Chain A
Amino acid sequence: MKLSEVKGILEARVFVGEDKLDMEVHTAFGADLMSDVMAFAKAGSLLLTGLTNSQVVKTAASRNIAAIILVRGKEPSTEAIDMAKELQIPILATQYILFETAGILYSKGIVGCLKKVDSDFYK
């Protein structure tokens, strides 16, 4: 699916990356805990999150996230926008809550960047 379709489905506003909407995305990861994003999010995935600070952009960059989708009507901080422009990571924002965002994308064929985490991971 193209990022432009994701934008359409989620009725999202593009804050950064208007020129990158032709990129293809197939997978997603949703979390507000940056340590979990670091641990589990995979390169090329969408990151669905309610965090709006520049830390999200840094984390996304280090995991080679394709695009950040802010959920729950959140808007990125100016620092996050500046950093996303610099690091060339698209930021889209949707009013849908994370559950709805995930549900809708899943029903259109986007899958998790991984399915399960084994509990042994945390030991």
Chain B
Amino acid sequence: MNESENTIHTCQLEVEGGNFNAAGTVATRIKSILKELKMPDDIVRRSAICCYEAEINIVSYAKKGIINLTVWPEKVLIEVDDEGQGIPDIKQAMQQGYSTANQLIREMGFGAGMGLYNITSYSDEFAISSEVDKGTFLKITINKH
């Protein structure tokens, strides 16, 4: 079966690096799209949480980023592709509590080293690749439970 044939929605949303005021707008948009598509509340909530964390990472560490949303009747795929500083040590970055955030990010209530950890705990499948000074790519899958 060709998976792409069964998609019920796809869209591409942009995130501007450094703009803390706009952070979270893509997560908000994705939440309303999924709600309009009548996806189960659990999927809507987990997708919004994962997207929010990904957005904060782009705003904090990248020049810009693209978030691709693909929706199937019982599954959501969020692909995040940013142009930014990248992650030198992914294993370290995945650890709960590890963060390279500056004081500004911390005073905003982020940068406590929970972002990627939250994404892994709220997604069903998670893949990450990164290249220093190029950017980071995340593939987040959320299934109906």
| Chain B residues in the interface with A (C-beta under 8 A) | 96-97, 99, 106-107, 109, 112-113
Question: Looking across the interface, which residue of chain B has its beta carbon closest to that of A79?
Answer: B97
Residues of chain A touching chain B, judged by Cβ–Cβ distance below 8 Å, are 32-35, 50-53, 74-75, 77
* Complex alpha-carbon distance, A53 and B97, angstroms: 7
**Known contacts A53-B97, A53-B99, A74-B97, then 9 further A-B pairs from the complex at CB < 8 Å, ordered by chain A residue:** A33-B107, A34-B106, A35-B107, A50-B112, A52-B96, A52-B97, A53-B113, A74-B96, A75-B96
Q: Whose C-beta in chain B lies nearest to the C-beta of A52?
A: B97
| Residue from the set B97, B109, B112, B113 with the largest chain A CB neighbour count within 10 Å | B97
- Majority SS of interface residues in chain B? loop
Q: Is the interface of A mostly helix, strand, loop or mixed?
A: loop
Q: Are B107 and A51 in contact (CB under 8 A)?
A: no
Nearest chain B residue, comparing its CB with the CB of A77: B97
A74 surroundings in chain B (CB, below 8 A): 96-97
Question: In the assembled complex, how far is the CB of residue A77 from the closest CB belonging to chain B, in whole angstroms?
Answer: 5
Set B96, B97, B112, B113: member contacting A32, Cβ < 8 A: B112
Return B102 CB to nearest CB of chain A, in Å. Answer: 13
Structural contact, B109 and A51, CB atoms closer than 8 A: no
Question: CB-CB < 8 A to B106: which residues of A?
Answer: 34
A34 to B106, CA, bound (A): 9
User: Out of A35, A51, A75, which one reaches B112, CB within 8 Å?
Assistant: A51
Chain A residues whose CB sits within 8 angstroms of the CB of B113 once the complex forms: 52-53
Q: Which residue of chain B has the shortest Cβ distance to A53 in the bound complex?
A: B97
| A78: min CB distance to chain B, Å | 10
Task: For residue A59, give the distance in angstroms from its CB to the closest CB of chain B.
Answer: 12
Whole-angstrom CA separation of A113 from B107 in the bound complex: 22
Q: How far is the CA of A77 from the CA of B97 in the complex (A)?
A: 7
Bound Cα distance A53, B106 (Å): 12
In the complex, chain B residues whose CB is within 8 Å of the CB of A52:
96-97, 113
Q: Across the two chains, which residue of chain B brings its CB closest to A34?
A: B106
What are 7 of the A-B contact pairs (CB < 8 Å)? Answer: A32-B109, A33-B109, A50-B112, A52-B97, A52-B113, A53-B97, A53-B99
